[in-house]
Structure 1
Amino acid sequence: MAFLLTLVLPLAVMAQGVLGTSRLPSKVESDLVRAELMAHAPQGAGPGQEVWVGLQLTHAPEWHTYWKNSGDSGLPTELQWTLPLGVSAGEVAWPTPRKFPLGTLANYGFNGTVLLPVPLTISPEFRGSHIDVQLYAAWLVCRKECIPEEGNFSLRIPVDGSTGLNAQAFEATFAAAPTSQPPADSAIAPEEGFIGVSLDGLPAAWRNQILEFFPESGGIIEPGAGWTQAWTGDRWTARVPLSPHRSDSPTSMSLVVAQATPPGEGPGSPGVQMDVPVQGTWPAPAALPVAVPDNLSAALEANAARAAAQTPPANPSGVPITLWAALLGALIGGMILNLMPCVFPVLAIKVLAFARHGDGAGAQRAHRVNGLAYTAGVVLSFLALGGLLLALRAAGEQIGWGFQLQSPGVVAALAVLFTLIGLNLAGLFEVGNLLPSRLATLQARNPTADAFLTGVLATAIASPCTAPFMGASLGLAIGLPPVQALAVFGMLGLGMALPYLAASWVPAIARALPRPGAWMQTFRQLMAFPMFATVVWLLWVLGQQSGIDGAAALLMLLVVLALLVWAMGLRGRSRTVLAGASLLGLAWLAWAVGPNVTRLQDADPGAVVATSVQGVSWEPWSVGRQEALLAEGRPVFIDFTAAWCVTCQYNKRTTLANEGLLAEMASKNIALLRADWTRRDPAVTEALARLGRNGIPVYAIYKNGQPTQVLSEVISVEEVRAALTSL
């Protein structure tokens, strides 16, 4: 393992250079929404200037996205900004929404074209000739069905000069935004099942006209229920039904009121925004029945959201998972990780080093120190990954464990790493022959650091494989307080490091190993092939994310990289010529085809995949499709999977391909849905969270009137059949 210390840092630098991303676009377009990042800075973007940025959404006909309070269902559009030092973003200046009725329910949102403007504050500390704005946005676009979409955008705003190309769009949005005004004598009076709304100081032109009422916080009123309103002089009053699911009793309500929206698209009519005080005491929420719309398909969107809010996390046994059970599961799952084909060569060669160095007193002391250093590298790496996951989720990111493999850049970097390790194990090159003698002997002079970095490397290549062994423990960890959650991640790392730690502290293990000899070199070369097999798997994963062009581009980069490291081991003029040519070729490939590697291919909504049994096919999962099938009375079997999940692929080709099992599912009219998590998908992440899971594979069976059944991660035909007997 002498290559590890001198390989990891140069590889990281190399990956950053080869796989660096190009500038993000300012527009992202799908079949349903065209999204564009815009800016408005007519006087430039210096300190004290008025600077606005915003995301403009242009919807396909009959589709809509949501306001800050989405109504009975839906999700508001989320904007997450990355800005230079000295620049900060404010809140969205939401235009007045429209109301979209769904039977007796209703949503608040926008159709047509809408711009969501956000003010930027430029402080005197800002330095630079331009402001580079980066935005990650996620939105839910709905008609009768709902589809989550997202995009990454970038825009450059010059400090000097005018950026007013989008002035008309911003001015139109500002004109459609509600005007804030004090409540004056306005008040809200709760009563049993209703709130009485009395607003004072509304525009005189509104008198005796029908108005719309939009509370900025959801869950308080029934948006689609019928309610009465009237004018008494210049005072507008209304009696609005309370939601039976209300859990909040605010002392004041922020609301927008506007003229009833005429037919059309875009934002609603310009309105008035008020913070109205509540007078009186809120009644206890009533256990009222939920109204069912006449048009069931139009209400699936609302029913899905309500079911999500009311469905408790599930687990396979139905027994709550305690913290101690999660810690034990993490410890055992971590130990099993050492059998992964990409981890086992690292561990095996480290253990075989015991035979080379003997079992004397000095060697035993060195083994123990290295064992502790390796354990520290593994545990600290798992804690770092767990902490990053918790921090990103706390910031609103919808991600789960294994999120790193949802990035094509990370997949490509791991493929480069495994290729270099495999070539080193196969004997194509030795690090000592490529580097100056001072660097080449760095590992020998720092064995403890080498052991620590080995632990870091083992964690990087093993972490995506954890979910099959401890999905329940990880699902619990995400919902625990940070200290307890990190304890689960730390126990996972301890379990993975435990075999090597035990071997380093038990001299009998070193004595039981065969004597050093030529077999050790043969074994080392043999261990190169699991690494190459892992590279093949990573190339396949990248092909699922970036398409065939991305996989082919990475494969060509790996070939030229192998040529480079081989040429560096030559001597004389051959080394200079071949190494120089391969280095130039590598640089050209990185520039010419490198972007294909890290670019996500266009989202594919999926297609029906036939099975070996006639009449039984896998359909792409969506919340709307799941709810539609359940509404038909059909049981639904969902396979939460991803291309980078090895266990998922094994189950897919064994248990889930069993003709007898598929025939039994067909006889019970079970619908088969496949929720693909190869790329980041907040909807899949949310569905997993409702099942108490945060990693894959997960297999769930749904049926109306019955609790959800969650099967084990490594499923068998017998287990699935047993679950089907209850349907």
Structure 2
Amino acid sequence: MQSFHHRLLLLLSVLIALAPFCQAQLRESGTGAPGPVKAQHLTAELISDAGTIAPGGRSRVALALTLEPGWHVYWVYAGDSGEPPQVQWSVPSGFSIGPMQYPAPSRLPLGPLMDYGYEGTAVFPFNVSTSPQAPLGNADLKAHVRWLVCREVCVPGKAYLGLNLNVIPQASSETNKLIDAAVGAEPVKVPTAVKIGVTATRDTLMLNVVTGKKEISAEYYPLDDDSIRNAADQKIEPIADGIRLVTERADISDMLPKELKGVLKLSDGRSYMLDVPVGSATAHSGAGDERGLLLAVVLAFAGGIILNLMPCVFPVLFLKALALVGRAGESRTRQRAHGMAYTAGILCSFWLIVGALLTLRALGKQAGWGFQLQSPGFVVAMTCLLFFMALSLAGMFDLGLTWTSAGDDLARKGGYFGSFFTGVLATVVATPCTAPLMGAAIGFALSQNALVTFAVFTSLAFGLALPYFALTFVPGWASKLPRPGRWMETLKQFTSVPLFLTVVWLIWIYGRLSGSTTGDSTDHVARLLVGLLILAIGGWILGRWPARRWGYIAVAVTAAAALAFPLVTAQPDRLRWSPFSNAALEEAQSQGKPVFVDFTAAWCLSCQVNEKAVLQDRVVEQELLRRHYVLLRADWTRYDPEITSELSRVGRSGVPTYVIISGPWERATHVLPELLTRGVVLDAIRQAGIQQNSQMPAPLPGGKTGS
């Protein structure tokens, strides 16, 4: 207790000694007088056009922030972190000031994240107007200004600025070049001569911009969090009369956006405010529509044929071809009937997909080809199905030549059903793939009316069905197939390889889906792998005891467990961070535990990079757990005097800051660099442990330590 009082008195002494500095942190720079004010890493000033305004007239003023090299402030939408400057005006009676205006920003990358803002000199204009009754003479305008200035660290600041405007009968028409440039860089409404269309898939967003001339550059800046991934590359393709921009959609939402709101910056600094519906298409003439429909149908048909060669589909097609070899003795009529049944299965499946797409469209939602893969449950089911099929093909157990056949009895009594459902399966496994030529056709179909959509997807279905249909309908081709033999079993086992590769791809898709909703996909992917292991046990039972009723029951149970296990929500195994406070710090020190303090803020880009790349690293987490660290997170998103005081104590004035405090007998601190790596953190932890052990007082009787 005496030791605790000593430490408390020491803490109070430190806080009292730092009180003037803490007050300085709270005090605004500047006194409200006209002229520039120097603050940390920038100079702030209020400027005007000519310094004059007439009663009942209009003029312009602006906040000008001149930044040190490498430092930046933020746009109205800051991106992955940050916040824009804020101005609170105090003006004489008869004056009114409009909202803050923002020139088009620049992209400011840092690690895996992206901010939007300004470097150099940032100018934010305001429109000023006066009433006709405004008295002549000098008028003092005052402004309380707040900002966040960042480089590797982020430092908030504020100032009290002033500006004199002379109210005279006839105001000067002179303008300020800085304000002119800022106003000229502001986004404007899209002119009627400029056409902008937006299309989206599950993963990408594409802007087609027609300006009447070839553009050489384009950048898109969103005004929300869920339209694009800020840090993704924006790929541009200049065209004869404009430009095309393609970037990645954000992982937050699986549904396609209904509209796109943001700013598009083109060559020569031109920028436009966008509020464009996604998927809208420019109207064409009737002849153009016919040519577009015909081209889409042809491309879809060709894409369907090529789709047979994709790893998703080829094993199914090959198994069906092997089954045809096995029926070489059947009549040509029966072989053709199998081909028609297979084609019917594909057509019916595609028509169901079109019906689902049109239903979603009617409900106000949008979906694209392969939209089933937006559902984690569907991905798990497909992964388990294809994995089970691959195990059978590899020789673990035997389900016959086709997955969809129900054994020899069904093949003899109703073999056409087997062919029909093989076509269904081919469609199901085809939807994850997009063969060459298919993309343009599907994109066109999904933006047209129901009849056009139906025609394009039907053509795609016929293309997918064509190879096997032609094989069964032309006897000469069937006779040239190799004779059945042992090579069939070898090739059947070989076809398990692309199926296993498809399973790997579906696992990756599942990881992306689960990571977009939880932020970490590792646990979910591990659960899916355990589910596949359970399924493999079921396959082993089926191979070890074939044709046993209890074996089929065991397989059904393991299959149900395999499907359910990945979908059970698991709590991520993460370290527990507690909010920082002096009381929490004192409690940890009184227990003799080392403390890791993370000074961070939601607007700090470097903080987010360090947290995701280093502090959430498994090795770092395990080392902190092993050494029994108390983890305190000092969230400085909003100003906190206690956190500000602690930052000052360790010689810092902004975030990110990382401090290791070791030992209960004194506040021995180890301040880490702003940009972290795994090695930097691990070395600091170990050095702090060595220092703690070397300075620890000798133990007293009873296991206590001396003060």
TM-score using structure 1 length: 0.38
TM-score using structure 2 length: 0.39
Which is higher, the Rg of structure 1 or of structure 2?
A: 2
Q: Which has the higher contact order (CA 8 A, sep 6+)?
A: 1
